[in-house]
Structure 1
Amino acid sequence: MAIFAALGGTAILRSDFVTGVGRPLAQPVPFSHRHHVGELGVDCRYCHSGVETSSSAGLPATEVCMTCHSQLFTNADMLAPIRASLASGQPLQWQRANSVPDFVYFNHSIHIAKGVACETCHGEVDDMIGQ
């Protein structure tokens, strides 16, 4: 009986309900991968520029967002944090959606160089709702 309780407890602790997998994180700007990747066709490497040269894919800098948004939706209320970040020089405080434990060393650049697509590990990024 104790084994079933332990297995059940482990299953619950690893469930999406507890881990939050699939739930959108609150970000400083409401960002949609579905819109940017799925509808507009922006490549992952455009925003996550470190993915080919670094162990970390990196989070997008304000200047990356402003490449387009200095021309598109320039006065949209939802983009006010981006404009404020650019004006102040303070980076946006994005919430990291994917992480590994501190004892794990993972190098994105090696996987990208070997042809492993982002979707292999991160799923269908172009279909993410609210992320």
Structure 2
Amino acid sequence: MTDSTSASDVEQTRELPFDAAVVERTADETGVGADDLTDALLVLDAELLGNHSEYEGGYDYVTVDGRRAYLVDEAVWEAFAASFDLDEELLAAARRAHDEQARLLFDSSVESAPPAEDAVGVVVGVDTAEEMV
């Protein structure tokens, strides 16, 4: 935890399917505030929670430590992101966090092939009751 990361920031990221380091690094690299990025990721995650079935049938995914990472087409991410009233800079940072976390989860899974370069990562928490692998 850096000096600029408060205990409440870390607590909020625990509610997310993201590593705190991914959120912090993305905020630093994109110039958006960590609090703003965390809030955006919370909003996106709430929407994604009930939509696993939209991605499971058509896209590669892995489930690691209660998190599911999907690799989707650019158009899928764009359509999803367009339904939110977030500024472009914040959406770009959220996409970057999703993509980085998804690639890390795919890399850590022994069952997966390396992600395609043109795929966009989408990460969502998986409640045990939802997991149907």
User: Which band: TM-score by shorter chain?
Assistant: 0.3 to 0.5
TM-score, normalised to structure 1, is 0.33
Point out the structure with the larger strand share: 2
Higher RCO (C-alpha under 8 Å, 6+ residues apart): 1
Which has the greater radius of gyration?
1
TM-score, normalised to structure 2, is 0.33
